[in-house]
């Protein structure tokens, strides 16, 4: 009985340690192989001039924090509207293209009122190294008096 009283606190400490510490170690993603090899992609976009939109697909390496341009094959979509959840005032989808950048010069159908704010949604839907990638960006623009677009709120990536 005296032997059990000595060992019981030690066994309890071991049980608590392995119960609390082990799940955090497995869930943290601290495995060296997966952390270094983990790459994702993100789309970045801007609006310039009166009707020019520019979208870029970037390769992001999580471990190093580097962002590199990368060639990809797929379709680009641009939607301009009052809000993201409302039907767009202007929509454009490209043909299947190869490259990591897309410039779009909007047609005369795009009529934006000066002084108003709009949301622009840009998306890439395609493949990179045979891997399916669907990424998008959402940002707000404001139209100036001379009908130029200016980005007023930074991006939301998804």
Alpha carbon separation from 84 to 78, 122, 137 (Å, rounded): 11, 11, 11
What is the full DSSP assignment across 64-94? Answer: TTEEEE---EEEEEEEEESSTTSPPSEEEE-
Tokens standing for 97? Answer: 């293209």
100-110 pLDDT tens trace: 888 888 888 88
| Burial class of residue 124 in the structure, from the number of CB atoms within 10 Å of its CB (0-12 exposed, 13-18 middle, 19+ buried) | buried
22-78 pLDDT tens trace: 555 555 444 444 445 567 888 888 888 888 888 888 877 665 555 555 678 999 999
């Amino acid at each position: 009985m005296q032997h059990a009283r000595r060992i019981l606190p030690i066994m309890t400490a071991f049980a608590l340690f392995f119960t609390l510490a082990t799940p955090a170690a497995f869930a943290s993603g601290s495995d060296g192989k997966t952390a270094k090899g983990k790459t994702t992609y993100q789309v970045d976009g801007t609006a310039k001039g009166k009707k020019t939109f520019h979208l870029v697909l970037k390769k992001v390496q999580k471990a190093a924090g580097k962002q590199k341009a990368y060639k990809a094959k797929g379709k680009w979509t641009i939607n301009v509207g009052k809000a993201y959840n409302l039907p767009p005032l202007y929509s454009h989808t490209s043909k299947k293209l190869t490259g990591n950048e897309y410039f779009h010069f909007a047609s005369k159908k795009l009529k934006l009122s000066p002084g108003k704010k709009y949301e622009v949604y840009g998306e890439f839907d395609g493949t990179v190294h045979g891997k399916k990638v669907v990424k998008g960006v959402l940002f707000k623009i404001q139209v100036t008096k001379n009908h130029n677009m200016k980005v007023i709120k930074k991006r939301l990536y998804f």
